[in-house]
Chains A and B, each alone.
Chain A
Amino acid sequence: MATVRIPTPLRKYTEGKEEVDIAGANVGQLLDNLDAKHGGIGERIRDPKGAVRRFVNIFVGDEDIRFLDGLETPVKDGDEVSIIPAIAGGL
């Protein structure tokens, strides 16, 4: 199980939880399992073709998966996976 950190704008899908524990051997499987458990969150993260949306970044530890193996990036037990969307607020 990895710990997935949920950003504030998506916490409505996780009953307000900031962290959820999800199983999955790689980031892609982890996101599938996250969506299975918390319906609706998946389409906010990935487009209909399954690619991570261009205004969302996913980090395993402190590394951006775009510079690792993308959705194939392996996830180990205890890893922290962070979903970080673009936010615009400044006011």
Chain B
Amino acid sequence: MATFNEVLSRVKADIRELSVDETKARVLDNRSDSPVLVDVRERDEYEQGFIPHAEWIPRGFLELKIEDLVADRSREVVIYCAGGVRSALAARSLVEMGYERVYSMAGGFRAWKNAGHAFERPRVMSAEQIKRYSRHIMLPEVGEVGQGKLLDAKVLCLGAGGLGSPSALYLAAAGVGTIGIVDDDVVDESNLQRQVLHNIERLGMPKVESARKTLQALNPDVNVIPIEDRLDSSNIMDILANYDLVVDGADNFPTRYLLNDAALKLKKPVVHASIFRFEGQVTTFMADDEGPCYRCLYPDPPPPGMAPSCQEAGVLGVLPGMIGTLQANEALKIILGVGKTLSGRLLVLDALGTKFRTMKLRRDPDCRVCSKQPEDIELIDYEAFCSIG
């Protein structure tokens, strides 16, 4: 038999401790090669404030989750709790799991606060949100922090049609906090074969209004901003400025080229996709200094005679579903800062053969738009023509 105090003194003799000042120096002041800082307190404690850069794993889940967070057992780990007791017990447990350089922060968060060091408050999600997004939150790549990024994100969906329907639905379901939708069309019966945002009761309704109803019924967290308009050089800059990124599901070349040029001026990423019959193309233009833009790929729009005529139009209903969800995937990765986007790659899907091919795209150093300084890019309103292609 041993009392708790006896156990604790033994544990403390076994493990290594860092003072709050040492922790600050190692974790905050020098971010290169800094140890992983783990907060093992309970939710209510964590919500009152935490040390910047700390990862939060409540004590009860530490052993279950630590390998997801820190795979390399030689990596330094600093653990803290409220006063330094739970973190000492936690440190011993990690040593038993083979972690070689584990420290408990002496005095815990109380001592940190008393020393006057900076702390942050997490976004506090409601119980409903925690439940709604639980399958995201349990992914280490998303977690509560990532879900917070999604809730703070503002995405502009261009078009509430074939591509816009699946992408907006999944972005709303994922909890993207603000979704703007641009479309100047109304719902028609012939849309319903693929445009799953709309339904038979919405015939004749503006598509942006129908989209707002559907998305808000799916997730009331989402602020849907209907923009019943067509983009041109007079309004695009003001509209784009309010968003972090654009999901392009436009149905014509003039809008696509205008969007590319305006997004480069404002340095907003564009998740691009287009469809025709059984074929789809997807890529991401990051508007950074590395990846290509739409004009690196296709410098100019085709003249009217070269685009397939309207009579040739037609699309397999599920194709925009597949392509639009790929766009949503790109948008979520950009917001979360995880994975690898399609920047520099063009994904081509042939739905008839169910064949995916990936082509390499390169930035054209002589591109007459993205090689310019953003302020020197001039917007062009190309003549609209029938371009179902």
Contact = CB atoms under 8 A, between A and B. Distances in A.
Interface in A1-60: 7-9, 18, 44, 53-57, 59
B389 A87 contact: yes
Nearest to B389: A87
A88 B253 CA distance: 5
A85 B364 CA distance: 17
A64 B361 contact: yes
Interface of A: 7-9, 18, 44, 53-57, 59, 62-64, 66-67, 82, 84-91
Given A8-B278, A67-B362, A89 B298 contact: no
Contact of A90 (B249, B307, B312): B249
Given A18-B350, A64-B361, A90 B279 contact: no
Contacts of B275: 87, 89-90
B387 A88 contact: yes
Given A8-B277, A89-B251, A90-B162, A57 B298 contact: yes
Q: What is the interface residue range for chain B against chain A?
A: 35 or more
A29 to B, nearest CB: 22
B300 A54 contact: yes
A82 B251 contact: no
Contacts of A90: 158-159, 161-164, 248-251, 273-275, 320
B360 A91 contact: no
Contacts of A91: 159, 161-163, 191, 195, 251, 315
Interface stretch (B25-33, B43-51, B57-65, B351-359): B351-359
Contacts of A84: 281, 346, 348, 359
A49 B219 CA distance: 55
> Which of B252, B313, B359 has the largest count of A CB atoms less than 10 A from its CB?
B359
Contacts of B359: 57, 59, 62-64, 82, 84
B357 A87 contact: no
A44 B250 contact: no
Given A84-B281, A88-B253, A89-B313, A9 B308 contact: yes
Contacts of B159: 90-91
